[in-house]
Amino acid sequence: MKILILTASTGGGHKRAAAAIEAKIHTLSPETEVCVVDGMKAVGKFYDKTVCKGYHIMATKTPEIYGKLYRLSDESKTIAKVVVKSNEIMADYLLEVIEKHNPDIIIICHAFITNMVSYLKGKNMIHAKVISLITDYDAHRTYVSPHIDAFVIAVPEMKRKLCEEYDVPEDKIYPLGIPTFDRFSVSETKEELCRRERLDPNRPIVLMMAGSFGVTGVLDFYEQLAQTSDRLQMVVITGRNIRLFDHLDRKIQELGTGKNTKLLYFVDNVEDYMHIADLIVTKPGGLTVTESIACHLPMVIYSAFPGQEADNVDFLLRKNAAVLVDKEDGAQEILKLLESPERLEEMRENCKRLALPNAAEDIFRLACKLYEERA
């Protein structure tokens, strides 16, 4: 069996989901050929830059406009059709890479790529079975295309919207969850991890994923939080944002909070910090949320873009797995939460109930099922 996974660079979540599925397939079935391709880049540099950079600019510089467009394209069938049609126009550019790999199964981690593959399948240009993976906690109309064989959703309650609002047949919907690497579900003990990372397991640990925030907002929020309590230990990860890392490094020296702060650039063991933290301060991207849930880690949401991130926040608040704070009193809210072990434990248990640690394996099993049907 040959599997082609198509992803995109509109944020890191789509690529992490693809990588988690690829890793699981290699573990379960080494004989299965699996390849991950950035579908946007395969279509062309201009399209990739237009979509990916356009998303980043709109979401960070004009979030209100982005949010309105996101809602309109979900609520209006006419606008959604325009979006889908614009993607279908680019589908022929994706055909070459699909024909090169000649897959039996295609797994897609982005709505726009889903539109293209559905169009090609409808024109009988490809004959693979196709799985669309929705990597957020609410659906959007642009994910729905007629020639998709299976839609994988994050949680069962999303099924109603796909059926009732988008007319997706129920037998095409699979609530298998968003895939994560196994290491988010299994770990060493907190004491072992803290010893290795030189942290005190008996003092509160707050993990801050700061790479997606604006520089000014992070500096202000960090200053409030780092000075809230002498007992607080902060682990701040900036991702590949070197500008933010340098600004925070200077801020830590200025405040004299270095003894209680572990500042990190890009790391490849973020799951270790998630396992030892008492809570995480983050933006609610679909994969960050899923990885936190897999680690049973309560979330404090500091900022959310209108659109899919706002939908993710709504879901987390309904499930009491997160709290939403603002920059004025966010530090005090976090301190109150840390001083309420019963509430933290309740949130942790809610995360545990939401976790679907076998999502990657279940998606592969679904691929095998569709392959057998095709055969």
Per-residue pLDDT of 265-318, as tens digits, reads 989 899 999 999 999 999 898 999 999 999 999 999 987 888 889 999 999 999
The boundaries of every CATH 3.40.50.2000 domain in the chain are 2-180+358-374, 183-354
Six-digit token pair at 17? Answer: 């989901």
Fold that domain 2-180+358-374 belongs to in CATH: Rossmann fold (3.40.50)
pTM: 0.92
Q: How many CA atoms lie within 13 A of 2 on its CB side?
A: 11
For helices 91-101 and 111-122, the axis angle rounded to 10 degrees is 80
pLDDT at 163: 95
pLDDT in tens, 24-83: 999 999 999 999 999 988 888 877 777 777 777 777 778 788 888 888 888 888 888 888
pLDDT band at 215 (very low <50, low <70, confident <90, very high): low
From the number of C-beta atoms within 10 Å of its C-beta (0-12, 13-18, 19+), residue 165 rates as middle
Q: Residue 329 burial (CB < 10 Å; 0-12/13-18/19+)?
A: exposed
CA 233 to CA 16: how far, in whole Å? 28
- The CA distances from residue 286 to 114, 134, 308, 313, 316, in Å, are 18, 9, 8, 10, 11
| pLDDT of res. 53 | 73
What angle separates helix 341-354 from helix 330-338, to the nearest 10 degrees? 90
Residue 211 pLDDT level (bands cut at 50, 70, 90): low
Provide the pLDDT for residue 292: 97
Token digits of residue 321: 């797995």
The residue among 210 and 39 whose pLDDT is bigger is: 39
- pLDDT given for residue 130 in this prediction: 97
How large is the average pLDDT for residues 210-225? 72
Helix (H) or strand (E) holding 195: helix 190-197
Task: Please give the torsion angle defined by the CA atoms of residues 79, 133, 109 and 296, in that order, rounded to the nearest 10 degrees.
Answer: 120
| Residue 46, pLDDT score | 76
Alpha carbon distance 338, 323 (integer Å): 12
pLDDT tens column, 79-98: 888 888 888 888 999 999 99
| Mean pLDDT in residue range 180-198 | 92
Determine the residue type at 324: L
Owner of token pair 């299976």: 150
**Cα–Cα dist 339/304, whole Å:** 25
pLDDT on residue 212: 57
Amino acid identity of residue 216, one-letter, is T
Q: How confident is the model at residue 213 (pLDDT cuts 50, 70, 90)?
A: low
Q: What is the pLDDT of residues 317-330, one digit of tens each?
A: 999 999 999 877 88
CATH of domain 183-354: 3.40.50.2000
Element housing 237 (H / E): strand 233-237
